[in-house]
Amino acid sequence: MLVALADVSKGRRGLALPSTSLVYRSGRATLAIAETEQRPTVLGLIATGRMRPDTGTVTLDGVSRPRDLRRRAALVDAPDVSEPAPNIALAGVVAEELMFAGLPADPIAARRWLDEHGLRHLSRVPIADVEPVDRLRALLELAARRPGVEALVLVSPDRHGAEPSQWWPLAEEFAARGLAVLVIAGRTAAAVVAETVGGTERRRRPRASAVRIRGRRGQVAGHLAGGAR
């Protein structure tokens, strides 16, 4: 699948989201920049077909299909929208997500899932206290289990305090499974990822999941929401 956002914006004079263009596709991890507290979530909602932009277009494989996009793209850990309540234990989050995926969601099923992913020791820990990388991996794995999901849009992983060198490889890992992965983060985190990708490219041929924007490999979407073009 290929999702293209062309000059989308939200709010009067683009206050909620300035004019933004990006592409994310199956088998690739793409990083988009969105600054301020609200814009990453707004961009994530638009990129998954859950919010209509005030300007611009969103297409799925070249056609405007918001309902199909909503079904096929999961919005992961978006503040105030899809993030788990902070006081719920990880086992509870797992059970809820298994239910959304149409799978057995009883405590035994949740514990079995945690065992399979090496997270059983965190079953009673509130999700807000789970280490960022464990939190993100769990939420991405669970979202990927939902029927029909082919894309993961992860919002503001940098807000949890993990280094980009920890969560960007997760994005690449899920992209390597054939999923379309879009990560929306702040400019500082994006600069670190770009530096890492650039250094890697000098040593070896770029992987298919390198940061991409407008079809060019190894570049961060620096002209996206929250900053200059």
195-206: pLDDT as tens digits: 766 544 443 333
Please state whether the predicted TM-score (pTM) of the whole model is above 0.95. Answer: no
Which residues lie closer than 8 Å to 105 by C-beta, 6 or more apart? 95, 96, 98, 99
The sign one gets for the Cα dihedral 150, 153, 157, 162 is positive
Distance CA 122, CA 103 (A): 21
Helix axes 164-176, 132-144, angle to 10 degrees: 20
Assign residue 23 a region: left if phi > 0, alpha if psi is -120 to 50, beta otherwise?
beta
Question: Which residue from 141, 101, 148, 95 is spatially nearest to 117, judged by alpha carbons?
Answer: 141
Nearest to 4 by CA among 151, 145, 186: 151
Q: pLDDT tier at 187 (50, 70, 90 boundaries)?
A: confident
pLDDT score of 196:
67
**pLDDT single digits (tens) 66-121:** 999 999 999 999 998 999 999 999 999 999 999 988 899 999 999 999 999 999 99
Find the Cα–Cα–Cα–Cα dihedral 131, 136, 138, 142, rounded to 10°. Answer: 160
The answer, yes or no, to whether residue 57 has pLDDT greater than 90, is yes
